[in-house]
Amino acid sequence: MITRQLSFSALIFLFIYTIQESFINQVRLPGGGFSIFLIFALVWSALSTPEVGAVTGFSAGFLIDLSPSSSGPVGQWTLILILTCFGIAFLGFGDDKSRGNPITIVFLVVAGVFLAEVSFLITGVLLGVNLGSFTQILIILFGMSIWTLLITPFTLPVFSRLHALTFDTASRI
């Protein structure tokens, strides 16, 4: 059972990662655009248990770290996403009202993206990564949050179905 879940999850993760790296990154959107892979990882965590959330964060972060366009050291995104995904899964778990409510999940994901980017900035500063002008950082931070707010409602049903299919859960959004 767990082998099926793991292999199915890995396939979905790699597929969405490829879409992000080969297609979404090509389109230059104003305000920094969005990361479908980050949205996916956070939605997946929001629908999962905290343990699965942490593992999701580890896998997603490691894949982002492997991206050649990633500026920080390998492990930086991994660390950030472990904590963010665990936090989101922890907030949603056990509370059926928030888990079953798509609006709550959308706002959790937006907050997660914002927090992950801010954490990347802070850890980047600590690790000596150059991050650019303050204005540009603000544009990307708020731009990505707004894009995430716009994109997540459309992707949530698809990701929710994939999650249900993988973990055989009856409830779907």
Site string for another protein, 103-122 (x = CB under 8 A): --------------x--xx-
CB 109 within 8 A of CB 89: no
Residue 13 CB, nearest approach to another protein (Å): 13
Q: Does 11 interact with another protein (rule: CB under 8 A)?
A: no
Q: Does 144 interact with another protein (rule: CB under 8 A)?
A: yes
Q: Does 137 interact with another protein (rule: CB under 8 A)?
A: yes
Give the number of residues written for the chain.
Answer: 173
Interface with another protein (CB under 8 A), residue total 62
Among 7, 100, 103, 136, contact with another protein (rule: CB under 8 A): 136
- Pinpoint the alpha helices (H) of the chain: 2-22, 36-46, 50-66, 76-92, 96-99, 102-127, 134-167
The secondary structure of 67-108 as a DSSP string is STT--S-TTHHHHHHHHHHHHHHHHHTT-HHHHS-HHHHHHH
Site string for another protein, 20-59 (x = CB under 8 A): xxxxxxxxxxx-xx-x--x----------xxx--xx-xx-
